[in-house]
Amino acid sequence: MSVILPVDGVMPQMGNDCFIAPNATIVGDVVMGNECSVWFNAVLRGDVNSIRMGNKVNVQDGAVIHCTYQKTKTLIGNNVSIGHNAIVHGCVIDDNVLVGMGAIVMDNVKVGSNSIIAAGAVVLENTIVEPGSIYAGVPAKKVKEISEDLISGEINRIADNYVRYSEWFK
């Protein structure tokens, strides 16, 4: 059964038609939009600051979303995929973004819309990820501009697929 707990009297809030895996953990000041999914062993800790997620956000298996006490909130736009075992911490992720498997996005990062953070990338504190770009490596750097094919073929496809996958469990 999912662990969904209040912290200091603040209970997580889920939008309509969301899927929360039986062993996911969501605590504290977390607000998610509609058609979101939080997968197996994912953790969303809104204990030390707030987490806000738009519509059609998927947080895949083993991913962690957290913040920094009295400093950074985590804001995630619409149509965002957070890959398996990724860490998203105290940052802003705009609409239509794919954060790859095992990537780390640190405090005060701003990820522009229509972007991809490659699998295994480490986006260091205070980095501005340009909209429409792919960042990869350790530390992550811009490797190229994103094509329309990648926006529809990867970013949108994955977000749409996770809405479909979540239906299998409802």
Domain coordinates in residue numbering, the chain: 3-168
The Cα–Cα gap between 31 and 48 comes to: 14
What's the pLDDT at 63?
A: 99
CB 99 within 8 A of CB 75: no
Mean pLDDT of the chain: 97
Q: What contacts 156, CB < 8 A, 6 or more positions away? A: 79, 96
Residue 150: the pLDDT is 84
Instruction: Average the pLDDT over 50-54 and give the result.
Output: 98
Residue pLDDT, tens place only, 32-45: 999 999 999 999 99
Contact 162, 58 (CB under 8 A): yes
Asked whether residue 47 carries a pLDDT value surpassing 90, the answer given is yes
Give the per-residue pLDDT at 1: 85
Percent with pLDDT over 90 in the chain: 95
> Per residue in 71-93, pLDDT tens?
999 999 999 999 999 999 999 99
Q: How confident is the model at residue 156 (pLDDT cuts 50, 70, 90)?
A: very high
CB neighbour list of residue 158: distance below 8 Å, 6 or more residues apart: 58, 81, 98
pLDDT at 170: 85
How far is C-alpha 104 from the geometric centre of its chain's CA atoms?
A: 11
pLDDT at 106: 98
pTM for the model? 0.97
Question: How much is the pLDDT for 40?
Answer: 98
Fold of 3-168: UDP N-Acetylglucosamine Acyltransferase; domain 1 (2.160.10)
What pLDDT, in 10s, does the model give residues 1-10?
A: 899 999 999 9
Query: pLDDT (tens digit, 9 = 90+) per residue, 114-155?
Result: 999 999 999 999 999 999 999 999 999 999 999 988 888 999
